Chains A and B, each alone.
Chain A
Amino acid sequence: MVRLEPRRQHSQAMVYLSPVLAILMTLFVGGIIFSFMGKNPFDALYTFFILPINNSYGISELFVKATPLVIIAIGLSMGFRANVWNIGAEGQLTMGAIFGGGLALYFYDSESMFLLPAMFVLGAIGGAFWGGIPALLRTRFNANEILTSLMLTYVATLFLSFLVHGPWRNPEGFNFPESRPFPDAGLLPVIYDGTRVHLGTAFAVLVVIAGWILLSKSVIGFQLRVVGKAPQAARHVGFRQKRMVWFTLLLGGALSGLAGLFEVAGPIGQLQPAISPGYGFTAIIVAFLGRLHPLGILFGGLIMALTYLGGELAQITLGLPNAVTGLFQGILLFFLLACDVLTKYRVRFGTPAAKGEAA
């Protein structure tokens, strides 16, 4: 008989071990799924997780994919810490791309060095605007931010579709639903020649460091944690929950917006109907994989980026459907949540000490 026994104190070892355990279990289950699909599990896992990064270009692509994931996940993790469940990062990313990208399209023949910084600002504003709506609705009208932020994602995606099919369609573009390409002054410089690693990647590293200071060292980060762990204690000492809702949704929105802008001003170079393969949703997993800690998120982002690369490669070389990526991500999140129990509880075998209902 297996039962759970509460620990007096959270296990520090398990805090680090449980994500590793979750990854191993995901690989194991992944192998089983591959063999069900008639593939050699070891070949498939190799293709999925090793082959994409066995050369330097592959590694650089890993950074490219990890960049938006890390930036968004840092923002989301602040919210999750404070019990603010922003799951609309995909929409905030889209709005950031629309705002910042719109500027690039308006000045499509600009050569100004100020264009790019101005796009950054507008991208962040666009994302923060889209994140601010659920914040307003939650603080003012008590509306659940999970549902509102998600609904707004559908709205943002449709709005982008409208723009690139309509007013922002490239007049010289053979009627494809795409905008003009951004001018060079509106493109992110590549920071490592021969790759697609762009300025945004450097920014992501900065965000990690800033996020770490904010969360672990600052009074605001302390407030976030108290609001999330013990709302009544927060109220008792005057840490205002509403302020945290605003702060985390605006921050999460701004970072998602920036990530979206980096995508369109970086690897993509224009606006098109699909600008993200679900980075905004995957970032939720990244945040949990990183245990809502900025440094953990950095690693989590790299691992999830690998599932994207592996998925693409598996599609090309093994003929596996792209959906395998999403499946892996979901399974990983399940195992992460399941392994989380180990930080608070010990698993014991034998006769129960207490009559546990769940046994």
Chain B
Amino acid sequence: MTGGSKPAQLEVRGVTKAFPGCLANDDISFRIEPGEIHALLGENGAGKSTLVKIIYGVLQADQGDLLWEGKPVTIHSPHDAREMGVGLVFQHFSLFETMTVLENIALAMNDVRDMAALRQQVIEVEKTYGLPLDPDRHVYTLSVGERQRIEIVRCLLQNPKLLILDEPTSVLTPQEVEKLFETLRRLADEGCAILYISHKLHEVKALCQKATVLRGGKVVGGCDPREETAKSMAEMMIGQKLTAPDRSGTRKFGDVRLDISDLSLISDEQFGTDLKGIGLKVRGGEIMGVAGVAGNGQNELFQALAGETEIIGTPDCIKIDGDPVAHFGPRRRRRLGAAFVPEERNGHGAVPDMSLSENGFLTAFRRMALSARGLIREVPTRSFADKIIKTFDVRTTGASAEAGSLSGGNLQKFIVGREILQDPGVLVISQPTWGVDAGAASAIHQALLDLAAKGTAVLVISQDLDEIFAICDQVVVMSEGKMSAPRPMADVSVEEIGLLMGGLHDLDGDVTLKTKELIEGDRVGQA
């Protein structure tokens, strides 16, 4: 490879980048050839995003060089990067909700051209690559998949020589993923180099020809994903042998503890999804998974269950241990033994500027009797926080540390621990291991399994199908505010869940036939 006839499209040489208190990139080197699909693998916090930002000119490396087509380059800004021919599809989209597709594309173009010409170009690129988009639609009316299409189209318009995709599939259905891959393969055939960042190893195996693995900011290895197993790559990423969660012991399900029936709700969010006739029963001891692409009503469902949204008029549509609670606020639901963990840790599940002590008090003061006569009881409050820290192995300087000073995994352990120690009858948890390192993730999974084993009804809302397959007993899928019928984990496949995520609501009867029809229909639609 080295000194070959043709220089690499991009070569990264000894790139180092330090932030206060952490070395995000430590002497990273690798190269991408033209037309190659190259995976950058690593856990959260391995330094992938920092590296991408350096290549895209958002950050500058402290040390090291970038070589573009063999020549050293300095990339001062995204503008420079785009000028060179680097395109980036962001993990968290860089879109403007109240603007149109065309305006969004125009904002990310370097050279100002007139809008009519740009519109023409957009339509051409869409046709060429089969990425239909209406240039005049406002972004807030689009699905997540369509939003990603905007990002891709606006990269393609610049005729990129290197396209970077940062975790592009976390928001897509398996079928959408397949479509994306087709586009990427085609681009690679045309000679575009692709840097594909992911932690989803099945996908990397299916798509990429080379992989560079990062851990703790360092390159720990490279491989050809086609010759590896997902397990072997995962172990490279994590640096240790994988242990599956312990699901031993026979699971016995008790009475229905969380009963949702015909729950409908108009979203009060600006760009929200309405809930339509949701029905679901979760028994004691059972872990129910709610799968689905983000933005299909999961947030609204969580808010309705947690009492952030109160439903006046139909108290019966949510019952906790038989008590109608839909008209109650969060505090009364918690008093009945329910507990909730939202997706966002900072500012939703915890107050970053407050101490862990105070964050423990936040949801537990009633159930754990941490207040008396309207005043905070200091000693029990502190010891409750200490107990969470100890039981769930939260790495911190102590109960008076601010929640915001903890790493994502440790804060998540604290939040989950806070709810579990309150001994809930029903636990609703959203994205339990989102952005959490593997160690913390497996600890959290184990804690949820243990909690269910004690008779709690657990509802896990997750976009991560691997997670749902790892811990759930049954699964339902949300799509456009509707919910499918529950299916036991044992007899459902990833493909079926994928179809449900894409909007098919009834999988009874001849599944295979319907699947076939749908896929065929899809092909027709594309042509």
Contact = CB atoms under 8 A, between A and B. Distances in A.
> In the complex, are there CB atoms of A and B closer than 8 Å?
yes
Interface of A: 5-6, 8-10, 213, 217-220, 222, 225-226, 229-230, 232-233, 235-238, 240, 353-355
Given A235-B308, A236-B308, A237-B362, 6 more contacts: A217-B375, A219-B365, A233-B347, A237-B363, A238-B307, A353-B18
B374 A237 contact: no
Contact of B330 (A5, A8, A236): A236
A126 to B, nearest CB: 27
14 contacts: A9-B401, A213-B375, A218-B376, A219-B365, A229-B354, A230-B350, A230-B353, A232-B344, A232-B347, A232-B348, A236-B348, A238-B307, A238-B330, A238-B332
B377 to A, nearest CB: 10
Contacts of A230: 347-348, 350-353
Contact of B374 (A10, A218, A353, A354): A218
A8 B404 CA distance: 7
A222 B361 contact: yes
A229 B353 contact: yes
B59 interface: yes
Contacts of A355: 58-60
B331 interface: yes
Residue with the highest number of chain B CB atoms closer than 10 Å, among A9, A220, A236: A236
B496 to A, nearest CB: 33
B354 A353 contact: no
B20 A233 contact: no
B371 interface: yes
A272 B401 CA distance: 53
A66 to B, nearest CB: 28
B329 interface: yes
A232 B362 CA distance: 12
Contact of A10 (B21, B307, B348, B402): B402
B47 to A, nearest CB: 14
A259 B21 CA distance: 49
A76 B332 CA distance: 31
Interface of B: 18-21, 58-60, 62, 306-308, 329-332, 334, 340, 342, 344, 347-354, 358, 361-363, 365, 371, 374-376, 401-402, 404-405
A219 B340 CA distance: 21
A55 B349 CA distance: 55
Contacts of A226: 351, 354, 362
Contact of A219 (B308, B349, B371, B402): B371
Contacts of A10: 353, 402
Contact of A233 (B58, B348, B401): B348
A236 B349 contact: yes
A232 B306 CA distance: 12
Contacts of B331: 237-238
Residue with the highest number of chain A CB atoms closer than 10 Å, among B306, B348, B361: B348
Contacts, number: 80
Contacts of B350: 230, 233
A238 B307 CA distance: 8
A225 B344 CA distance: 19
A73 B84 CA distance: 57
8 nearest CB pairs, A to B = A238-B330, A238-B331, A238-B329, A230-B351, A8-B405, A230-B347, A232-B348, A9-B405
B329 A217 contact: no
Contacts of B353: 10, 229-230
Contacts of B358: 222
Nearest to A234: B351
Contacts of B352: 229-230
Contacts of A218: 374-376
B330 A237 contact: yes
Given A9-B405, A238-B307, A219 B354 contact: no
Contacts of A238: 307, 329-332, 334
Residue with the highest number of chain B CB atoms closer than 10 Å, among A5, A222, A237, A355: A237
B19 A9 contact: no
Contacts of B308: 235-236
Contacts of B329: 238, 240
Contact of B402 (A9, A217, A232, A240): A9
B354 A225 contact: yes
Contacts of A240: 329
A233 B351 contact: yes
Contacts of A225: 351, 354
B219 to A, nearest CB: 21
Given A9-B402, A10-B402, A237-B330, A353 B347 contact: no
Contacts of B375: 213, 217-219
A218 B402 CA distance: 20
Nearest to A222: B376
B402 to A, nearest CB: 5
Contacts of B21: 8
A219 B374 contact: yes
A220 B374 contact: yes
B371 A236 contact: no
Residue with the highest number of chain B CB atoms closer than 10 Å, among A219, A226, A229: A219
A350 B417 CA distance: 42
Contacts of B332: 238
B193 to A, nearest CB: 25
Contacts of B349: 233, 236
B216 to A, nearest CB: 18
A5 B22 CA distance: 13
A233 B362 contact: yes
A233 B307 CA distance: 12
A6 B402 CA distance: 14
A10 B400 CA distance: 12
A354 B58 CA distance: 10
A236 B20 contact: no
Nearest to A216: B376
Contacts of B374: 218-220
A6 B404 CA distance: 12
Contacts of A5: 20
Nearest to B306: A236
A9 B402 CA distance: 6
Given A230-B347, A238-B330, A238-B331, A353 B361 contact: no
A238 B308 CA distance: 7
